[in-house]
Amino acid sequence: MRIVIIGGGIAGLAAAIALKRNKNEIVVKEKNFTNNNSGMAFMIHESTVRNINSLGDIELDLNNHEINNLILKDDLHTNHVKINGWYAIKRVKLLNFLQSQLTADEYHENCDFSYFQYEGDKAIAAVFKNGSIECGDLFIGADGINSQVRNSVSEAHFFPNEINEIVCIAKYKNENIHDNTFRKYLSIKKGMSFGFIPVSNNEHVWFLQFDRGLYGSLFEKSRKIETAFSPQLLSEFPKEIKNIIENSDLKKSHLWKSKELKLLNSYYKDNVCLIGDAAHGSIPLTSSGVSSGVSSAIELAEAINSSEYLYSALSTYEELRKKKNSRTIEYAQILKLQFNSPPDCLGNYHLPLFH
Ligand SMILES: Cc1cc2nc3c(=O)[nH]c(=O)nc-3n(C[C@H](O)[C@H](O)[C@H](O)COP(=O)(O)OP(=O)(O)OC[C@H]3O[C@@H](n4cnc5c(N)ncnc54)[C@H](O)[C@@H]3O)c2cc1C
């Protein structure tokens, strides 16, 4: 088959590598240029690492990326939790690793998807805003939470957008801060938490999660995130957070207005299907975006490779993913509830990690 993949994020790249292995002809069409694909970092579980390494002949180097402690703290309690098999990795490192397994003919940038051309109910070509047209037998929408391809597949409904996140990297001079520990502080004021994770010997990725209803105007009105970090706001957290903020270039911080997709009715229509955040974007509290993106790509490729007919492959894929995505959505709702009203005892806290 000739397969056109729209979106060159982690799910799209993983699908491309998995599908080309079985002699399909693939092309990935990405809206942005590589250098814009900065993003920050994420936690990935070893099961996802295994999936990523199973795609090709090279292995992701995760030396010095392991995270095996989680410290949850509020004003009254500190809870140490041992976590197994988790790694923190920068988004750009994972993207570069996956891109290196595709050729220039297989990966095209600056291609913003516009619409499909149809023959009857079947899509025959994808048209891009730069004028390029790609014909194919199968079209995969891997274009993220704001997917355009999704409009051709299923109606999307979202949970109310309650939790936003600011993400940034703190960089220290000549300090080895890597202690393999993910720390998350819950503010005394409910509806805000601050987490930070080492991503190299001298860098932390940090995030401030806040209830949009309570704090949205603070960050949106000021527009400049650096001015929103007032001493009063910082006083909500332990002192070490002040140090982290001071070592961060807040101009490079990213306000992530996360969207949480409800379970779609359908993940495919005829020969157009969805993977990754386009199919099941969930709130960032679960840290499950990469794991879902990679496993949906692999499961789609496996279904295609093992079925005689495309439609039965897509139906197998859909059935499998719906089950898994329902579980992620369920867990995300628990975390959201917990975010707005943290349990009295940190021992009852549900871990902000899901895979
Ligand atoms: C810039 C960025 C930064 C991120 N940073 C973090 C982070 O720090 N921590 C975290 O946990 N998660 C982050 N995420 C989300 C995380 O990468 C995803 O949840 C997960 O990897 C699933 O990936 P995906 O490929 O389905 O979606 P995405 O990673 O969103 O990739 C979708 C891709 O499709 C492209 N695209 C969108 N529209 C079109 C179009 N019309 N035509 C062609 N291509 C299109 C986008 O440019 C993007 O490259 C980030 C996502 C992005 C896009």
Q: Which atom of ligand 1 is nearest to the CA of 36?
A: 1
Q: Phi-psi category of 287—alpha, beta or left, where left has phi over 0 and alpha has psi -120 to 50?
A: left
Instruction: Identify which of 273, 304, 280 has the alpha carbon closest to the alpha carbon of residue 354.
Output: 280
Q: Which atom of ligand 1 is nearest to the CA of 147?
A: 38
Atom 10, ligand 1: which residue's CA is nearest?
42
- Among 17, 29, 31, say which to mutate for ligand 1: greatest number of ligand atoms within 8 Å of CB: 31
Q: Is the dihedral of CA 14, 304, 282, 109 positive or negative?
A: positive
Distance 66 CA to ligand 1 centre (A): 23
Q: For position 9, what pLDDT does the model report? A: 94
Give the rounded percent of residues in the chain with a pLDDT score beyond 90.
54
7, 278 in Cβ contact below 8 A? yes
Q: For position 340, what pLDDT does the model report? A: 67
Q: For position 255, what pLDDT does the model report? A: 81
Ligand 1 contacts CB of residue 112 (under 6 A): yes
Q: For position 162, what pLDDT does the model report? A: 76
Ligand 1 contacts CB of residue 31 (under 6 A): yes
Give the rounded percent of residues in the chain with a pLDDT score beyond 70.
90
Q: What tokens were used for 142?
A: 């891997």
d(CA 292, CA 52): 12
Q: Judge if pTM exceeds 0.85.
A: yes
Ligand 1 contacts CB of residue 30 (under 6 A): yes
- Give, for all 355 residues of the chain, the pLDDT tens digit: 999 999 999 999 999 999 999 889 999 999 998 655 466 888 899 999 999 999 989 999 998 899 999 898 877 788 898 989 999 999 889 999 999 999 999 999 999 999 999 999 999 999 999 999 999 999 999 999 999 999 999 999 998 877 788 888 999 997 789 999 999 888 766 678 889 999 999 999 998 888 777 776 777 665 677 777 777 777 777 788 888 988 988 888 888 777 889 999 999 999 999 999 999 876 666 777 888 999 999 999 999 999 999 999 999 999 999 999 888 888 787 777 777 666 666 667 677 667 6
Atom 11, ligand 1: which residue's CA is nearest?
42
Ligand 1 contacts CB of residue 148 (under 6 A): yes
Report helix, strand or coil for 96: helix
Q: For position 343, what pLDDT does the model report? A: 67
Ligand 1 contacts CB of residue 113 (under 6 A): yes
d(CA 177, CA 198): 7
Distance 9 CA to ligand 1 centre (A): 5
Which residue segments constitute the domains of the chain, with CATH numbers given? Answer: 2-46+90-158+260-340 (3.50.50.60), 163-257 (3.30.9.100)
